[in-house]
Chains A and B, each alone.
Chain A
Amino acid sequence: MSTVSDAAGSAAPAAKRRPVLSDRTKAERKLGWYLAGPAFIIMLAVTLYPILYAIWLSFFNYRLTDPAARKFVFLQNYVYALSDPLFWQTVETTFFIVVVTLIFELVIGMGIALVMHRIVLPRRTLRTIVLIPYSIITVVSAFAWLYAATPNLGFIDPWLHTLTFGLTDPTYNWFGGRWSSLFVICASEIWKTTPFMSLLLLAGLAQVDSSMEEAAKVDGATWWQRFYKVILPNMKGALMVAVLFRTLDAVRIYDNPQVMTGGANDTTTLSMLVGSTTVDRVEIGMGSALAVILFIIVLIIAAIFVRLFKVDLTSTGRS
């Protein structure tokens, strides 16, 4: 049962009694806001204020080292940003990473989840191994992959060379081109976040009624048919939430490519463009406009999921 339906459910009797709000209801409402209020207000103060300030700054042509030349330009920054080829290139890079990592994380994550769901005994060990990448700082994981893929330093080139019986170049420069750089960035992302994905999917699998699967088995359905027709539809909710969470995370990707390439060879992501504009070039107005655009993209994606796929985000787990 979800919070929303729960709230609606318990609100219904309250509504009937509305004309005479009992003291108890009044006290409960009051207590509710006493308890929830501080967190809500602080959350708004520390988060909403910077967001509104960013929107305000995005209307200016404003360079940190030249505050005297600050000029109100209204939406001009947005016009220039949205008509800029570099902006669209970062959009392309970002969504390439989003799509590639999401596909691999779903497939690998689902595999791990199925294994963990079936195997009872070494579950603890499995969970341990799966949780290790999750517990590593993103920057550390980025350095690990950066060094691993650096020619004459890392093991990836010599190992590939051995595994392919000498077909690959033992000193291949992964960070010399756009797509090979993105390949390493994606591999590192997949390594880091697949565990999280598999845990979400495992929780979804637990919701699938095993008797339905048994029934399908008796009817002679193949494993693939059972997976496709019974398991997947029954865990659709969990699946969509997992996909949404990972998509929104991946759209904001920053640490990983920043450490690995710093944006070389057209590997700049949207977040990195925001960073380089505001931090390196100190163009605060344009940088804020880019930040707002990024946030709007995030909101649009969330809205699409919620509307189109009916992902109920305000529902939190309750058995």
Chain B
Amino acid sequence: MTVAVATTGLAACGSSSSASGGRVTLNWYINPDGGGTNPTGGGQAQLAAECSTSNYKINVSVLPNSASDQQTQLLRRLAVGDSTVDLMSVDPAYISQFAAAGYFAPVPANMVSTFTAGRVQSSIDASTYDGKLIGVPFWANTQVLWYRKSVVAKAGLDMSKPVTWDQIIAAAQKTKTDIGVQAALYEGYSVWINALVAGAGGQIVENPSASAGDIKMGLNSAAGREAAAIIKKVATTGVGGPAMGSSEESQALTLFSTAGSSGFMVNWPYVWAALAPGAGNPVTWRNSDLGFARYPETVAGKPSAPPVGGIELAVSKYSKHTALAYQAAACITSVQHQEQYMIGTGNPASSKAVYTMPAILKAFPNGLAALISSSLDAGVPRPLSPYWGDISTGLQEKFSPPNAVNQNTAASAQSFILKVLAGKALE
């Protein structure tokens, strides 16, 4: 604040990034993470403090909790050309929308290799639009299959080989346990649907860069019907739990923590830290009975397509300090900082080198670090279409409630989404 007052001259020119003695303020809009706004909390706020230099100081502003509220907030600022946005933490679900609208400053050609060398492919893909790198891979998320070793032993399932959804559904039925999934009306449900379709070798959107009217979809296909069949089976056999239709990540974790019915779950790596034995945690079996494996296969013999997520960094076109902002992004996403961030928040790094570091191997033991890394390599992102928001909402609506999914769902979802994209239907 004092800085701003001291440089009213600059502020009057319309710049709210103020400089004092040449030191610029960069505003970074972060999504909420475990560190909050605490500069020593291990999260993005700490990275901001550590990456500030004598040339610039990085300020953080926290965006709302849900990805769609984050999108709305950023979109409004970008649509009005707000020059106070320098850096943004952007969810891959809407990065293409912003890129297509031309809201991002181009990545300097000489930094492209810095931002892509040694990073996982799915993270690079998520930062690419129309063949060009438009963001900086920051952290990369992927889902794995969590299970109870005792349940698997009872069911006689061999986890040393890839398992299919059919196998774990049968195992859960046999042992009267649950499979935690995400099937509430929210983005997480689309993550599941996309992983199932991609696992069967299909694509929900065939030409993601096309304009709304020219989008071609591949949901109404054998792969789409395989995906619908698995969702239907999880729902109708009851292994999805009593409230499958309102289950998000945290509900799935609660279900998985419940003694007696705990069997399987697909979820992100934060589960490992969340189930750590400690005061107030009802789960005491993490170190003895918790197993993890690669995401289940949709079709036997066809390698699964683990869901991927995470956060990319982007620099606003309207920023007055795009070059400095990219410098800051390089610092924030350096290998050391990614390691620190992965330990501080549990959010997996996008740099492959991190997964062999001793501290990471200790925090994600027994091969978990390697599993995350290999899942990221095999992962398939959600379609990188500027219209993914509309597509995703349409998918969630037509696949809800999960126990009403049938062999026609894929076809009806596809025709509905195409109508919405053409402006002929509301959602």
Contacts and interface: CB of A to CB of B under 8 A. Distances in A.
The reply, when asked whether chain A contacts chain B directly with Cβ atoms under 8 A, is yes
Interface of A: 61, 63-66, 69, 73, 76-77, 80-81, 84, 86-87, 173, 176, 264, 273, 277, 279-283, 285-286, 290
A86 B427 contact: yes
A86 B426 contact: yes
A16 B97 CA distance: 69
A159 to B, nearest CB: 23
Given A176-B243, A280-B68, A280-B72, A66 B211 contact: yes
Nearest to A175: B246
Contact of A264 (B68, B185, B212): B185
B47 to A, nearest CB: 29
A268 to B, nearest CB: 10
Residue with the highest number of chain B CB atoms closer than 10 Å, among A80, A81, A176:
A80
B425 interface: yes
B423 A283 contact: yes
10 smallest CB-CB distances across A and B, nearest first, come from: A65-B101, A86-B426, A84-B426, A80-B424, A61-B423, A65-B97, A84-B425, A87-B426, A64-B79, A264-B185
Contacts of A279: 72
B97 A273 contact: no
19 contacts: A61-B423, A65-B75, A65-B100, A65-B101, A66-B100, A66-B386, A73-B423, A80-B423, A80-B425, A80-B426, A81-B426, A84-B426, A86-B426, A86-B427, A87-B426, A264-B185, A282-B75, A283-B423, A286-B426
Interface string B87-117: 0000000000110110000000000000000
Contacts of A264: 185
A69 B212 contact: yes
A176 B246 contact: yes
Nearest to B184: A264
B386 A69 contact: no
- What secondary structure prevails in chain B residues at the interface with A? helix
A290 B427 CA distance: 12
Interface of B: 68, 71-72, 75, 79, 97-98, 100-101, 185, 211-212, 243, 246, 386, 389-390, 393, 423-427
B101 A66 contact: yes
A176 B71 CA distance: 26
Nearest to A64: B79
Contacts of B75: 64-65, 282
Contacts of B98: 65
A290 B425 CA distance: 12
A286 B423 CA distance: 8
A280 B73 CA distance: 10
B69 to A, nearest CB: 9
B93 to A, nearest CB: 13
Given A65-B101, A84-B426, A286-B423, A281 B246 contact: no
A129 to B, nearest CB: 35
Nearest to A69: B211
Given A61-B423, A280-B71, A281-B389, 9 more contacts: A64-B75, A66-B100, A66-B101, A80-B426, A84-B425, A173-B246, A264-B185, A280-B68, A290-B426
A286 B393 CA distance: 17
Residue with the highest number of chain A CB atoms closer than 10 Å, among B98, B243, B425:
B425
B115 to A, nearest CB: 24
A257 to B, nearest CB: 15
A281 B393 CA distance: 10
A224 B98 CA distance: 65
Contacts of A176: 243, 246
Contacts of A66: 100-101, 211-212, 386
Contacts of A64: 75, 79
Nearest to A285: B423
Nearest to B71: A280
Contact of A277 (B243, B386, B426): B426
A285 B100 CA distance: 19
Contact of B390 (A77, A80, A281): A281
A61 B101 CA distance: 16
Contacts of A69: 211-212
Residue with the highest number of chain B CB atoms closer than 10 Å, among A73, A87, A286, A290:
A286
A273 B211 contact: no
A21 B252 CA distance: 82
B368 to A, nearest CB: 31
B65 to A, nearest CB: 12
A69 B389 CA distance: 18
B249 to A, nearest CB: 17
A69 B213 CA distance: 10
A63 B390 CA distance: 12
Contacts of B246: 173, 176
A76 B185 CA distance: 29
A77 B423 contact: yes
A283 B390 CA distance: 10
A273 B426 contact: yes
Residue with the highest number of chain A CB atoms closer than 10 Å, among B211, B393, B426, B427:
B426
B229 to A, nearest CB: 25
B425 A280 contact: no
Residue with the highest number of chain B CB atoms closer than 10 Å, among A77, A173, A277, A280:
A280
Nearest to B424: A80
Contacts of B212: 63, 66, 69
A301 B231 CA distance: 45
Contacts of A290: 426
Contacts of A173: 243, 246
